[in-house]
Structure 1
């Protein structure tokens, strides 16, 4: 049995997380959407848990990609999971990237994250990924 109300709430939580945490760089506020014991399966992330996400991404945003921005182009929710297909800009290599992220919710909080990303080439057909 699907829980559309939860799926809608989870989708809205991811959009808020993208906006507040990643795009506005209000890490403390955005991280409140994460479970205290949040697990990030991204291989480049050193820290785990809510505070680990704040520390790790905060350092990257400050030192490596201060102009990082993510825009969800497509989203699908089913049960405790939300998938996003997103455009990332503001990366050091310049052209940006496309990512597909999977977010798992538990007790109304973002509990777990997986992703795959592919860099874009400057001369790439903009419609090729979206």
Structure 2
């Protein structure tokens, strides 16, 4: 079993998300996701193939960007935004991943539509320091 540090895991999750969601390089993405990948998200079919096939079905305009990244032990939480998926609002996500043998082995997420300034009761953006345009 290969152990990776929290700092290595943070770098790996960013590389993995960029490779899959932004570059759409499925062969390269296999290096990051375990072939025994466990998916807990209700909106994503099981396993690595379930995730990859979901992404294949999304528009090529899909983009992922991250904002806050936290890691402890084998777990990483990344606060990010998925845009260009064909829906009226971008999704702001908290993705939680567990690493095993240097690969993404398990995933949970919390997603919500990104609020506009007019919809934000707090008056603050949900992602970064400005509201979506």
The two structures have a TM-score, normalised by structure 2, of 0.81
Cα gap change, 1:93/1:54 in structure 2, threshold over 3 Å: closer, same or farther? closer
CA distance in 2, matches of 1:118, 1:53: 18
* Structure 1 runs not aligned, ≥5 long: none
Spell out structure 1 runs of 4+ moving beyond 6 A.
Answer: none
2:41 — aligned with what?
Answer: 42
**Kept after mapping to 2: 8 A contact 1:47/1:56:** no
RMSD: 2.0
How many residues align structurally?
Answer: 122
1:24 — aligned with what?
Answer: 23
What displacement does 1:28 show? 1.9
CA distance in 1, matches of 2:49, 2:111: 24
Q: How does 1:1-130 map to 2 (within 5 A)?
A: 6-48=5-47, 50-58=48-56, 60-61=57-58, 65-122=59-116, 123-124=118-119, 127-130=124-127
* Structure 2 runs not aligned, ≥5 long: 128-133
CA distance in 1, matches of 2:89, 2:51: 25
